[in-house]
Structure 1
Amino acid sequence: MPQASTISLIITTYNRPDALSAVVEACFAQDDNNFEIIIADDGSANNTRETVAALLARSPVPMKHVWQEDIGFRAARARNLGTLAAQGEYIIFIDGDCVPQKDFVANHRRLSKRGHVVTGSRVLLSETYTRRLLEQHLDIQRLGAMEKFKLYLAGSANKFLQTMLTLPDLGRESKRFTWRRIKSCNMAVWRSDLDLVNGFDESFTGWGHEDSDLVVRLFNAGVMRKSGAFATEVYHLWHREAKRDQESSNRSVVLKRAEDKTTQAVAGLRELRASAA
């Protein structure tokens, strides 16, 4: 079965231009450069606009910036905006604080399979090392095995083997639904499957579970999961946790949709496309 030929990498960001710059620089340095970048901006201020403009001016791949008004946490809508702007048949979602390894796009392309969503994982970086990486503009992609191991031993990174080993495409598919490793900061899905379930659901307010909701609805629609572990890890830059006041109510919605076999977003790609027409 053929792999994805055209890929859009959608990077969600909000008022963290230093982190976004580190992420995009790592995207510029990918082994596979046959993709486009969409910056999906959830209402950042002008300093992010300036950073994106500078990156756009020297991007080695096609790149766009979509922006929406800042009226609260609306990551679902930002990702839908990015999706509508994307040209690729296969879409990889990452966050603007998740630095990909050099083979990130290549491995996502290798794992792509029709009727499947690939969910990856993160390597968590410490507050101290994150500050150092951003202040000194360190290139984490260039670290060798010993340097990565030292980071792990020092508690600066919570994983080591996952950054060194790339496992083959065997045993990655699951015919049963699992909640593990559902992170929209590292997820790849066919555009046709996003259209099938109406994309991310913008009715989710506040932090949490809009990513689980998407994967649940995809599964209900017959889209299976593949694990991207030991192939598509990203380095997650430290930040203070967002307010999670809506987490319990959002989770309740997802649990009900899993039980009811819901497939469609209440407010998703179709509604956003119609409002822009």
Structure 2
Amino acid sequence: MSVVTISLIITTYNRPDALTAVVEACFAQSDLGYEIIIADDGSGHNTRQAVAALQARAPLPLRHVWQEDKGFRAARARNLGTLAAKGNYIIFLDGDCIPQRNFISQHRKLAQRGHLVSGSRVLLSEAATRRTLEQHLDLHRLSVVDKLRWRLCGDLNKVLQLLMTWPDWKRTSKRFTWRRIKSCNMAVWRADLELVNGFDESFVGWGHEDADLVVRLFNAGVMRKDGAFATEVFHLWHKETKRDQASSNRAVVRQRAVDRCTRAVRGLQQQQPADVAAGQIMPQ
């Protein structure tokens, strides 16, 4: 089997304090054999400053890919990140999801040809998020007692996933579902992304572009592997995103499942090389 080379693509938009906490946790991984690409959906100067400060102390390669702010375009940001990536295995993480110390090593362990890994998240309350960011709390250092206390206080929405790990044989099912898919924590072989033309940038507004990717991958023969009880991340609280297009986007995904669609209408192959080369990758 070929060596797994990992690129971690972190999407962000105008939340430099959360992004800094996430990337600092990435610097503290037990496995540092990977690269980080910040896929920026049009953030302003504060985020650029935060990334530059992180690059100055990064123990591994860290690049910043940026696109103009034209509304919610996470699919395009992830595609730009993929095009800039050097790894043969891509892990997608959102810039408000703090990984545990073994996040990369667990994803590397679960990497299997012909499969994607759909990870999961533990939601932090608004109060716990504020404490984490203002006090620069290291969530890696939470003891079992701390986690149980946070759960009882409502600062975590679940805790069992942080205390135990499933065996690998429980992770793959022949019964496919595209529900509960979160691109805030998902890993895909680069070759499989290229096979289906990446994320579909034709989706308008928030919602379901991640489920669409997984449906098209399944239609192309890629199975879904459950990363729960192994790859949990701490999802920092934020206000709900406006979801005007969510219902219509969901309908598109359902139809593509019926039609056995595999290729994105507008994806990786529709990006112009000049878009990535000329001014969109921020200098280190």
TM-score tier (shorter): over 0.9
With normalisation by structure 1, the TM-score equals 0.97
User: Partner residue of 1:186?
Assistant: 185
Give, in angstroms, the shift of residue 4 of structure 1: 5.3
Do structure 1's residue 25 and structure 2's residue 24 form an aligned pair?
yes
Q: How far apart are the structure 2 equivalents of 1:65 and 1:193?
A: 24
Map of 1:57 onto structure 2: 56
Match of 2:46 in 1: 47
Query: Residue in 2 aligned with 1:171?
Result: 170
Alpha-carbon contact 1:9-1:92 (below 8 Å) kept: yes
Match of 2:264 in 1: 265
Q: In the alignment, residue 148 of structure 2 is paired with which amino acid?
A: F
Aligned residue for 2:115? 116
Structure 2 residue 17 is the aligned partner of structure 1 residue 15: no
* Shift of residue 275, structure 1, vs aligned partner: 6.1
The aligned runs of 1:168-247 (5 Å cut-off) are 168-247=167-246
Tell me the equivalent position of 1:76.
Answer: 75
TM-score, structure 2 length as denominator?
0.95
What are the Cα deviations for residues 230-277 of structure 1, in whole angstroms up to 9, with x where unaligned?
000000000001100000111111000000000000000000145638
Q: Which residue of 2 aligns with 1:251?
A: 250
Q: Which amino acid aligns with 1:247?
A: A
Q: Which amino acid aligns with 1:157?
A: L
Range moving further from structure 2, 169-178 or 193-202: 169-178
What is the match of residue 139 of structure 1?
Answer: 138
Whether the 8 Å CA contact 1:4–1:112 is kept in 2: the answer is: no
Equivalent residues, number: 276
Q: In structure 2, what residue type is equivalent to 1:52?
A: V
Query: The residue matched to 1:173 in structure 2 has which SS?
Result: coil
State the match for 2:282 in structure 1: none
Gap change, CA 1:3 and 1:130, over 3 Å in 2: farther
Give distance in 2, aligned partners of 1:42 and 1:91. 18
| C-alpha contact 1:4 1:109 (8 A) present in aligned 2 | no
After TM superposition, give the deviation of residue 3 of structure 1 in Å: 7.4
Give the distance between the partners of 1:246 and 1:188, measured in 2 at CA: 25
Q: Which residue identity is paired with 1:91?
A: I
Measure the CA separation in 1 of the matches of 2:137 and 2:217: 38
State the identity as a percent: 71
1:35 matched to 2:34? The reply is: yes
Report deviation, 1:167.
Answer: 1.9
Distance, in Å, in 1 between the alignment partners of 2:180 and 2:103 is 17
- 1:171-211 CA-partner distances (Å, limit 9, x unpaired): 21122211233000000000000000000000011000000
Q: Distance in 1 between matches of 2:109 and 2:30?
A: 13
In 2: Cα distance, 1:242 partner to 1:4 partner: 38
Which residue is equivalent to 1:129? 128
Q: How far apart, CA to CA, are the structure 2 residues paired with 1:135 and 1:11?
A: 21
Letter paired with 1:181: R
2:78–2:199 Cα contact (<8 Å) kept: yes
Partner secondary structure for residue 189 of structure 1:
strand
